[in-house]
């Protein structure tokens, strides 16, 4: 089971894509718009955007039928509340609720597209990763199918932008705006909690000592969660390098991060490290410092990446994270002198992971509280 999960994790990484850096950034709302709750994103059609291939993609009207050729685009559509528009998905999107009711239009390793099947779905828009071959994209466009192609993910900011781009392309700006705001809140909560803490050394195991380098969105997740990614000192330019056994043993990471499919989660953490693995000779394994995360969340540049990031922060810095969230929760529940106590001000976040959905204002208070605690 572990080997199968590793293979899927590597494939998902190859399939993953993010919005192109050259794409238009979302306009910043002015103070008046922010006060009235207006959206920073605007959805209007026809819409023309340049994609990763340099192609000017024009969406003439709000799409009603969307095909996603990679799991991260599908996940994003689900998070935007727009799953009802999706009529076709890749073979890796099965983890999404209701995805089994959509047509699967890709297959194989690496993933290839059944062009005829996509065309038969009569899509208004196809969202494609950079890994789909040029021939498939050209065939779809020759059949007058609108295809928007994304670049490879390199940062969390790319994921924000990709989410906003998909929102604009599909007419789901409100969902995109709220999703990105929630993501930013969670990332800021984590960063405030781990700020100033000593960073433990971390190795992210993709199998056979392959890992994520610092200039990848996964590497950023590790860093922002307060970990020191040992791949950063490996003197490699590869995004996802294979580290030598000698290097890993020499670095002796204090934490291991491994991924697994949802149905494999919940077992003893040491069981995720193979019997003959060199990782069993590390301090992390000996002390049981193994963080097991959902493959579908960490391997895809999509909104759910904040979940493994939060999980890592809790594992790397349990006391700081607990203190930070206790401060934030207490502050959020205290009514002000000018604001009477109401159900809205006393209700908890109601989530399974502390810190989820904490607004930016609370994050500011959280930072102040942490600074005060450290100065005291």
What tens digit of pLDDT does each residue of 275-324 get? 999 999 999 999 999 999 999 999 999 999 999 999 999 999 999 998 87
Residue 213 reports pLDDT greater than 90: yes
- Lowest-confidence pick of 48-62, 116-130, 260-274: 260-274
Residue 53 reports pLDDT greater than 80: yes
Q: What pLDDT does 265 receive?
A: 67
Distance of alpha carbon 45 from alpha carbon 58, whole angstroms: 9
Chain-wide mean pLDDT for the chain?
82
In the chain the first and final C-alpha atoms are separated, in Å, by 49
More confidently predicted of 34 and 42: 42
Q: Which segment, 146-150, 322-326, 334-338, is predicted with the most confidence on average? A: 146-150
Distance of alpha carbon 262 from alpha carbon 265, whole angstroms: 5
Name the nearest CA neighbour of 201 among 226, 218, 221.
Answer: 226
Q: What pLDDT does 349 receive?
A: 30
User: Is-above-0.95 flag for pTM?
Assistant: no
Mean pLDDT, residues 63-72 taken together: 98
Q: What pLDDT does 323 receive?
A: 81
Residue 15 reports pLDDT greater than 50: no
More confidently predicted of 218 and 324: 218
- CATH 3.40.50.1980-classified regions of the chain: 2-183, 191-316
Q: What pLDDT does 334 receive?
A: 63
Residue 49 reports pLDDT greater than 70: yes
Q: What pLDDT does 264 receive?
A: 76
Name the nearest CA neighbour of 271 among 295, 255, 248, 292.
Answer: 292
DSSP state letter for 52: T
DSSP characters over 85-152: GEEEE-TT-TTSTTGGGSEE-EETTTTEE-HHHHHHT--SEEEE-TTS-HHHHHHHHHTT--EEEPBP
More confidently predicted of 268 and 103: 103
Confidence class for position 16, pLDDT limits 50, 70, 90 = very low
Which structure tokens are listed for 220?
């950023």
Q: What pLDDT does 327 receive?
A: 66
Mean pLDDT, residues 222-251 taken together: 96
Mean pLDDT, residues 336-356 taken together: 36
Q: Which CATH number fits domain 2-183: 3.40.630.190, 2.60.120.40, 3.10.20.30, 3.40.50.1980?
A: 3.40.50.1980
φ and ψ of 80, to 5 deg:
-80, -5
DSSP state letter for 68: E
Confidence class for position 20, pLDDT limits 50, 70, 90 = very low
Q: What pLDDT does 93 receive?
A: 97
Mean pLDDT, residues 188-208 taken together: 95
Residue 115 reports pLDDT greater than 70: yes
Q: What pLDDT does 113 receive?
A: 97
- Lowest-confidence pick of 6-10, 82-86, 112-116: 6-10
Is CATH 3.40.50.1980 what the domain over 191-316 is classified as, yes or no?
Answer: yes
- Lowest-confidence pick of 84-88, 108-112, 153-157, 240-244: 108-112
């Amino acid at each position: 089971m572990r080997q199968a999960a590793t293979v899927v994790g590597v494939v998902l990484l190859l399939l993953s894509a993010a919005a192109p850096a050259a794409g238009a950034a979302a306009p910043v709302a002015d103070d008046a718009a922010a006060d009235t709750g207006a959206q920073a994103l605007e959805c209007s059609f026809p819409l023309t955007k340049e994609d990763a291939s340099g192609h000017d993609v024009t969406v003439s009207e709000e799409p009603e039928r969307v095909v996603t050729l990679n799991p991260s685009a599908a996940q994003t559509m689900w998070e935007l509340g727009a799953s009802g528009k999706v009529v076709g998905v890749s073979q890796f999107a099965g983890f999404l609720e209701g995805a089994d009711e959509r047509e699967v239009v890709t297959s194989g390793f690496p993933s290839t597209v059944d062009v005829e099947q996509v065309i038969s779905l009569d899509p208004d828009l196809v969202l494609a990763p950079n890994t789909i071959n040029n021939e498939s994209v050209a065939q779809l466009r020759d059949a007058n199918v609108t295809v928007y192609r994304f670049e490879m993910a390199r940062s969390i900011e790319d994921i924000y932008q990709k989410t906003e781009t998909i929102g604009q392309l599909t007419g789901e700006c409100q969902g995109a705006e709220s999703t990105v705001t929630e993501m930013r809140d969670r990332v800021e909560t984590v960063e405030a909690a781990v700020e100033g803490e000593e960073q433990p050394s971390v190795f992210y195991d993709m199998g056979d000592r392959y890992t994520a380098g610092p200039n990848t969105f996964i590497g950023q997740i590790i860093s922002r969660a307060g970990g020191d990614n040992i791949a950063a000192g490996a003197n490699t330019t590869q995004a996802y390098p294979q580290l030598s056994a000698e290097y890993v043993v020499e670095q002796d990471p204090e934490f291991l991060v491994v991924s697994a499919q949802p149905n494999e989660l919940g077992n003893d953490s040491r069981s995720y490290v193979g019997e003959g693995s060199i990782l069993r000779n590390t301090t992390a394994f000996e002390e049981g410092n193994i963080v097991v995360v959902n493959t579908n969340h960490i391997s895809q540049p999509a909104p759910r990446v904040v979940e493994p990031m939060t999980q890592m922060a809790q594992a790397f810095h349990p006391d700081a994270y607990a203190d930070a969230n206790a401060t934030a929760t207490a502050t959020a529940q205290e009514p002000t002198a000018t604001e009477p106590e109401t159900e809205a001000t006393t209700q908890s976040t109601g989530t399974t992971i502390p810190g989820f959905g904490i607004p930016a204002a609370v994050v500011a208070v959280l930072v102040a509280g942490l600074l005060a605690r450290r100065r005291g």
